[in-house]
Amino acid sequence: MPDGELTRQLDRYLRHLAIERGLSANTVAAYRRDLGAFLAALADRGVADAAALDAETARAYVVGLRERETPLSAASTARVISSIRGFTRFLVEEGVIVRDPAEQLAPPKLPKRLPKALSIDQVQALLEATDGDDPVRLRDKALLELLYATGARVSEAVALDVDDLVGADGTAELIRVVGKGDKQRIVPVGSFARAAVEAYLVRSRPLLATGGSSTPALFLGARGARLSRQNAWLVIRAAADRAQLGVDVSPHSLRHSFATHLLQGGADVRVVQELLGHASVATTQLYTHVTIDGLRDVYQQAHPRAR
């Protein structure tokens, strides 16, 4: 990244995101990548100071992203524009510049992407693919059961400590999840996940913990340290391969399935919002479109006057 006033302001902005807004390290790193590339392009144009950044320069950079040999997707372009606008708005609020040069940057319109959920049978097959008695399989079983039982993000699950399990006599009846913006929520744990977690704690975690230094982490890797988000995703992908589901499985598949199956079972959307840790119910309501599609299919197949 080039040195100059803009670089120093970017460092201030990233600290602001991490400390004052409480964004996660992964989110701050994404801002750093997007804005670092933006500042490097500005340096190539001879722009190193905030006062020299104007609307035309910002617009030209975004146009260039769409016209390069491998153009950014609409979603990636929208993310970059959001990053730039956040940074320039910060510069205005801090009195570094008077007018916001990115104020008129318009993100491309994105199609509304509905979350993809697995069917109940597919989830069952995925969970059964982690069956086994060795320490790693017991851990993997507990991880996937907990993800489906609670709707936690993968990053939230690997951040759990043993002390985040709440229940009488050490049983995991509830878990304390720390979500985006360090917001905490308490989520109940179903009987299958509770049994899997308790089996892992008794028969697996002590063996994994001997490979490394003491850690409060709930889920451990083979060397005894906290299981990483990347390795947790590898666990999910390996289970999906063994289950031969025939559909794409993402790190969020179990979270999407958790929400969709709750709504299909009659859960109130506001309750699901709380369980997922969504700041806005509008985000949760995306899942209602998925369940409505399912209801429409059943209606068209079953009602004599629907076809």
CA distance 156 to 169: 24
Cα–Cα distance, 21 to 247 (Å, whole number): 37
Q: What is the CA radius of gyration of the chain?
A: 23
* E strand or H helix that includes residue 78: helix 74-93
> How high is the mean pLDDT of the chain?
87
Could you read off the pLDDT of 111-170 as tens digits, one per residue? Answer: 666 668 899 999 999 999 999 999 999 999 999 999 999 999 999 999 999 999 987 665
If asked whether residues 273 and 130 sit together in one domain, one would say yes
Residue 115 within a domain? no
- Pairing mode, strands 174-178 and 165-166: antiparallel
Per-residue b or e along 270-288, where b marks 16 or more CB atoms closer than 10 Å to that residue's CB = eebbebbbbeeeeebeebe
- Which CATH number do you get for residue 10? 1.10.150.130
pLDDT(203) > 60: yes
Q: 93, 111, 133 — which closes off a domain?
A: 93
CA–CA separation, 264 and 260 (whole Å): 6
Annotation says 256 is catalytic? no
Is 13 annotated in the active site? no
Are residues 76 and 130 part of one domain?
Answer: no
Which member of 16, 180, 185, 229 is catalytic? 180
Report the SS3 class of residue 295: helix
What pLDDT, on a 0 to 100 scale, did the predictor assign at position 214?
78
Higher pLDDT, 15 or 172: 15
Q: Is residue 113 part of a domain?
A: no
Greatest Cα pair distance in the chain: 71
169 and 55 inside one domain: no
pLDDT in tens, 169-202: 656 789 999 887 788 899 999 999 999 999 999 9
Domain that holds residue 28: 5-93
Q: At 70, is the pLDDT very low, low, confident or very high (cuts 50, 70, 90)?
A: confident
Look at residue 130 and tell me if it is in a domain: yes
41-58: pLDDT as tens digits: 999 999 988 989 999 999
Mean pLDDT lowest for which of 15-19, 20-24, 198-202?
20-24
222 against 296, higher pLDDT: 222
Query: Per the structure, how many domains does the chain have?
Result: 2
Identify whether residues 173 and 40 lie together within a single domain.
no
Which of 21-35, 138-152, 183-197, 207-221 has the lowest average pLDDT?
Answer: 207-221
Q: Do 161 and 275 lie in a common domain?
A: yes
Please check whether residues 23 and 157 belong to one and the same domain. Answer: no
The residues facing 178 across adjacent strands are: 184
Report the distance separating Cα 198 and Cα 2, nearest Å. Answer: 51
Residue 207 lies in a domain: yes
Q: Do 13 and 137 belong together in one domain? A: no
Examine the residue annotation and report whether 200 is marked as an active-site residue of this protein.
no
Residue 114, in any domain of the structure: no
205 in the same domain as 87: no
**How confident is residue 1, by pLDDT bands cut at 50, 70 and 90?**
very low
Q: Using pLDDT thresholds of 50, 70 and 90, give the confidence band for residue 75.
A: confident
- Greater model confidence, 275 or 144: 144
Q: Which of 141, 226, 252, 261 is catalytic?
A: 252
Instruction: Give the CATH number for residue 144.
Output: 1.10.443.10
Going by C-beta distance under 8 Å and a sequence separation of 6 or more, which residues neighbour residue 103? 55, 85, 88
> Do residues 158 and 283 share a domain?
yes
Q: What is the mean pLDDT of residues 258-281?
A: 86
Active site residue 255: yes
Does a structural domain hold residue 104?
Answer: no
Considering only CA atoms, which of 164, 168, 220, 171 is closest in space to residue 191? 171
Residue 136: its pLDDT value, please?
A: 96
pLDDT of the residue at 33? 94
Query: Is 23 inside any structural domain?
Result: yes
pLDDT of residue 291: 65
Alpha-carbon span 84 to 130, nearest angstrom = 43
| Residue finishing a domain among 93, 128, 158 | 93
What sign for the dihedral angle of Cα 214, 217, 219, 221? negative
Q: Are residues 148 and 294 in the same domain?
A: yes
Mean pLDDT of 218-231: 92
Question: Has 116 been annotated as catalytic?
Answer: no
Tell me which of 153, 194, 205, 256 is the catalytic residue: 153
Q: Which range has the worst mean pLDDT, 22-36, 103-117, 177-191, 199-213?
A: 103-117
Q: Does 153 qualify as catalytic in the annotation?
A: yes
Residues 160 and 258 in one domain: yes
Domain shared by 49 and 182, yes or no: no
> Which of 185, 182, 184, 186 lies closest to 173 in space, CA to CA?
186
Task: Report if residue 235 sits inside a domain.
Answer: yes
